Amino acid sequence: MSIRLHLFSKFRAPSHKVAHAILLCVAVFALLGAGDPGSRFSEIGHQMMCICGCKQILLECNHVGCPSSDGMRNELMAAVTRGDSDSLVEQGFVQKYGPTVLAAPTTRGFDRVAYILPFVALFLGFGIVIVIVRSWKNRPVPAIAGGLRPVRGTELEQFRDQAGKETDL
Amino acid sequence: MAEIGSFALLLALALSVYTFLAGIVALVFQKQTFVPATEPGSKTARRNQVADVGSGSSWAALLRRGSERIGETARRAGIATFAAVFLAAVVLVLCAFRDDFTIAYIFHHSNRDLPAPYKFATLWSGQEGSLLFWSLLLAAYGFVLRLRYKTDPRLFAYASVVLAGVQIFFLLLVNFAANPFGILEGALRPDGSGLNPLLQYPEMVIHPPMLYLGYVGFTVPFAFALGALIMKYPGEKWIHITRRWTMVTWAFLTCGVFLGAHWAYSVLGWGGYWGWDPVENASLMPWLTGTAFLHSVMMQEKRGMLKMWNMWLVFATFWLAILGTFLTRSGIISSVHAFAQSSIGSWFAWFLAISFVVFVFFFFKNKSHLASEHKLESLVSRESSFLFNNLLFVLLCFTVLWGTWFPKISELVQGNKVTVGGPFYNRVAIPVALLLLILTAVGPLLAWRKTSLESLKRNFLWPTVGAIAIAMFLMITPQRWGSPFGLRPWQDISYFYSLMAIGLSVLVTLTVASEFYRGGRVISKHTGQGMFASMVQLTHRNTRRYGGYIVHFGVVVVIIGFAGAAFNQDKEQEMANGDKLTIGSYTLICRSYTDDDAPNYASEWALLDVYKGGKQIDTMTPVRRFYKASQQTSTMPDIRSTLNEDLYLVFEGLNQDNGHPIIKAHLNPLVMWIWLGVWIILGGTVLALVPNAPAPVRVPAPARLEHVQTSPVATGD
């Protein structure tokens, strides 16, 4: 009981309240619109390819008399109307038409690499850039021989030109 | 005529080989006798002095003069190469106009009734012609380069040799692997097979030239970069020389990529403009690395940094342009565009391998010459924003390359192919593109070396508030207002991406506007001019920087156009006379449908009255054509474009049972913004090419401080 109270009291902190509310909103709104057969048909149909050789998304295949797309659309509509889950519909299509019927790699097995690698590269790249910048930044500053001295004449002009070049002022 | 063309191509090859070999000989001898003016005490200079003293200066002078003469003949041979390739191209076009069907290429890509502009476009309509066209453009770039050699004779001589090497490859192809003047075997045919119907569209007359100008154009900065690397060229002058080349080339490539998108939208009839097809990807990849190069090259120019990185970027851009052609021609990756597959893929593979080896060899041989002059001082600086910008551009390029090759990789690993289409890129590339958009907003406001957090807060507060306010407004407005209102990010991931894209676009726009405003305000205070005149003057003083901002603005306009895709709708219906179709706020009523006959094609079309709010606003006529020569059909969608949305109608065909037309209607919001954005990008690029106005007369600092309050305005490009 005391633990529950403790947790409860934690949730009463303003920042946690806001976080809780946001989570709730996201959960509620995420469920809105789900399950509508029309939107599911459109959503799944845009994840599939027409197999006639036109290499178009199933619902974008636009030639009249296509030997494949009409039948595939009817099958999809029937599956959605039956209430089959998305994965069941996909599995059925893959079994019948082969894995190329899906417009994108699945998130299973080796296919996962397709999605993972770009993000691994992104994080690795960010990491490398940050490490490089930090290592350059943390270099010891070389001591100035003879200490600071005022800059005048041609040397000042040189620095002025350099500043102009670097900033385009 | 075919003989003249073939002879011209052989002559061009011979001239190119001479340019290449004589150029190398001249450079080798010049190197041995070259005394660099800037490094009088160097090893080379001492060696020359020793040579002059030991063997007699007359011998060294003779050698130098001889090598200069050989170099000059190489330069002239390079110029003559252009004349020979130009002659070959003119002959091919003349053959198309003369309906010379003895030539196989003309037979396969033209016919008697083909309109004149398409007969001209025959030059780049098929594989052999497009390779000849590629050679012509390369020769033309080489021609200009060799005429302007006095800018820096040695560097230009090196670049000329590199260009000649690339030119030899393309001329070998058109002479021995894909000759456009090959004679048709068998009896003479009365008419040709005609041009692919999909290519019979006005934009196809200009899309390939633009794309090729971009592809080929990147050979020039690459040639200069490799030349500078080989000769260990001191300083960054080669970058100054190639800056305009690179920008012009980038503008051509941008134009080519978007003309291709517009062609796909206007001709293919599927209602979209980008299908992530491997060939489309092939044009996007060099554009991405080229854009990264345009940014990072500023760091080399201004701070002497990223020299090695820039070298790799410019090579990657050139290499990816060739890889794109390899993808198109080899058939190694299946594509809807792979209409020109052949065995020349192996030629490209070899060329890619050789160019890679040559570049890597010289890179490692001379990389000590590319040491950075400065180091980064802060994570919050213009330099690091360029680093992250480059990282994201290269990552996007990698993602596209990875997605393009993944079906092949999957086949090798799992034994079965997979499709990598739009949904994959939407999941992977869009988040990266959004990060890039954030950097586009942040980067220009960061100062070189280091930016204080206070300055960041000051510069970003109002643009961020504005962007959030507009995003919130778009989120809470009712959906019945039409796109892009009522963007509820929780309803669909595409809405979330759209909202983010529009919000960040607003942020970029506001930061760009604030840059113009703050700069204009300072000039206005100085001169007493009005704000607009001050901003014009500001732009004229640093066209590259402010032209760049306009390009950024154009990019966000394009992004807003892309964001509209989340609201696309479509509907397909059979329409007899008087039938109605409703989509969005439009009602279409079929007034009539009929057919027509022209010399080149027969057509079927429907006449549809368009109503909005109960009022007739237009009459549209989607058409379907049957091209007689090629015996192929093609749709000609009718598109009614407004800033808000495109009504896009396709005549899909006739119901075989009752003869009624089947119409597909698409409602595509904000598409016009894409084309508008491209014009702004091109305008910004042209502005960036305009020379700066002369710098104002320098006023002594104490006097200026007395009268003017300074403000941190300009932070460089």
- Going by C-beta distance under 8 Å and a sequence separation of 6 or more, which residues neighbour residue B619? B591, B607, B608, B609, B610
Shortest CA gap B22–chain A (Å): 39
Counting other chains too, the contacts that B650-657 makes at CB distance below 8 Å and 24 or more residues apart are B650/A62, B650/B269, B650/B271, B650/B622, B651/B604, B651/B605, B651/B606, B651/B622, B651/B623, B651/B624, B652/A62, B652/A63, B652/A64, B652/B269, B652/B572, B652/B624, B653/A63, B653/A64, B653/A65, B653/B624, B654/A64, B654/B604, B655/B574
The pLDDT score that the predictor gives to residue B714 is 41
Q: What is the pTM of this model?
A: 0.83
Burial (CB count within 10 angstroms: exposed 0-12, middle 13-18, buried 19+), residue A5: exposed
In B219-248, the residues whose Cβ lies within 8 Å of chain A are none
**Could you give the 3-state DSSP secondary structure of residue B164?**
helix
d(CA B64, CA B53): 15
Q: Taking the domains of chain B in order of start, what are their residue ranges?
A: 1-198, 201-440, 571-672
Task: Compute CA distances B393 → A76, B244, B288, B291, B544, whole Å.
Answer: 38, 21, 6, 8, 21
Residue B557's closest CA among B641, B710, B682, B656? B682
Interface of B with A in 449-488 (CB under 8 A): 449, 488
Query: In sequence order, what are the residues at sequence separation of 6 or more whose Cβ sits closer than 8 angstroms to the Cβ of residue B65?
Result: none
Q: Kindly state whether A9 is in contact with chain B, defined as any CB-CB distance less than 8 angstroms.
A: no
- Measured between beta carbons, which residues in chain B are less than 8 angstroms from residue A106? 418
Q: Is the pLDDT of residue B12 over 50?
A: yes
Q: Give which of A62, A108, A137 to mutate to test B binding, by max B Cβ within 10 Å.
A: A62
Averaged pLDDT score across all residues of chain B: 84
- Mean pLDDT, to the nearest integer, of B543-557? 92
For the stretch B413-430, pLDDT in tens is 888 888 888 889 988 989
CA-nearest residue to A45 within chain B is B423
ipTM metric? 0.76
Mean per-residue pLDDT for B361-390? 80
The identity of residue B222, as a single letter, is F
Look at B662 and A109 and tell me if their CB atoms are within 8 Å. no
Query: pLDDT digit string (tens) for A56-78?
Result: 888 887 766 678 888 888 888 99
> Does A123 contact B at CB distance below 8 Å?
no
SS3 label, residue A36: coil
| pLDDT tens-place string over residues B288-334 | 999 999 998 888 887 777 788 888 999 999 999 988 877 766 666 66
Q: Which residues of B touch A159 (CB under 8 A)?
A: none
Residue B482 neighbours by CB under 8 Å, 6+ apart: B584, B585, B644, B645, B669
Average pLDDT over residues A113-137: 86
A37: left (phi over 0), alpha (psi -120 to 50) or beta: alpha
Q: List the alpha helices (DSSP H) in A1-152.
A: 2-11, 14-31, 37-45, 69-82, 86-97, 112-137
At residue B371, the pLDDT reads 74
- What does the pLDDT look like over A133-148, one tens digit per residue? 777 767 666 555 555 5
pLDDT of residue B703: 45
Dmax (CA) of chain B: 99
Residue entry with tokens 């390779």? B131
> Which residues on neighbouring strands pair with residue B623, listed in sequence order?
B605, B636
pLDDT of B286 higher than 80:
yes
> Contact at 8 Å (CB) between B548 and B688?
yes
Q: What is the CA radius of gyration of chain B?
A: 29
pLDDT at A8 over 70: no
**pLDDT-wise least confident of B167-176, B189-198, B217-226, B370-379:** B370-379
Q: In this predicted model, which residue has the larger pLDDT, B114 or B553?
A: B553
Contact call for A62 and B413, based on CB within 8 A: no
**In this predicted structure, what is the pLDDT of residue B38?**
47
Cα four-point dihedral sign B48, B50, B54, B56 = positive
Res. B101 pLDDT band, cuts 50 70 90: confident
Q: What is the pLDDT of residue B588?
A: 93
pLDDT for A163 beyond 60: yes
Instruction: List, as one string, the DSSP characters of B399-446.
Output: HHHHHHHHHHHHHHHHSS-----HHHHHHHHHHHHHHHHHHHHHGGGS
- pLDDT greater than 80 at residue B88: yes
Quote the pLDDT of residue A11.
40
Question: Parallel, antiparallel, or unpaired: how do β-strands B632-636 and B569-574 relate?
Answer: unpaired
Given a cut of 90, whether residue B451 has pLDDT beyond it is no
pLDDT > 90 fraction of chain B, expressed in percent and rounded:
33
Task: Work out the average pLDDT over B494-523.
Answer: 90
Q: Which of A36, A67, A42 is nearest to A53 (CA)?
A: A67
Q: Span B133-140, mean pLDDT?
A: 93
CA dist B297 and B309 (Å) reads 9
- Contact list in B for residue A60 (CB cut-off 8 A) is 270-272
Most confident option among B342-351, B406-415, B669-678: B669-678
- B387 lies within 8 A of chain A by CB: yes
β-bridge partners, B632: B627
The DSSP bridge pattern shows strands B601-612 and B615-620 to be antiparallel
Q: Measured between CB atoms, which of B391, B413, B491 is closest to A125?
A: B391
B:399-428 residues touching chain A, CB 8 A cutoff: 399, 402-403, 406, 410, 413-414, 416-424, 427-428
Whether the Cβ atoms of residue B399 and residue B370 lie closer than 8 Å to each other: no
For B697-706, write each residue's pLDDT tens digit.
555 555 444 4
Quick one: three-class SS letters along B193-243?
CCCCHHHCCHHHHHHHHHHHHHHHHCHHHHHHHHHHHHCCCCCCHHHHHHH
CA distances from B225 to B13, B41, B331 (A): 24, 26, 31
Q: Report d(CA B172, CA B491) in Å as an integer.
A: 57
Asked if residues B123 and B177 have their Cβ atoms less than 8 Å apart, the reply is no
pLDDT of residue A65: 66
Angle at B117 between CA B113 and CA B118, to 5 degrees: 60
Residue pLDDT, tens place only, A74-112: 888 998 888 888 888 888 998 888 888 898 898 888 889
Tokens (6 digits) for B160: 């000329």
pLDDT band at B270 (very low <50, low <70, confident <90, very high): confident
> Is the omega angle on the peptide bond into residue B669 within 30 degrees of 0, that is, cis?
no
| B325 vs B527, higher pLDDT | B527
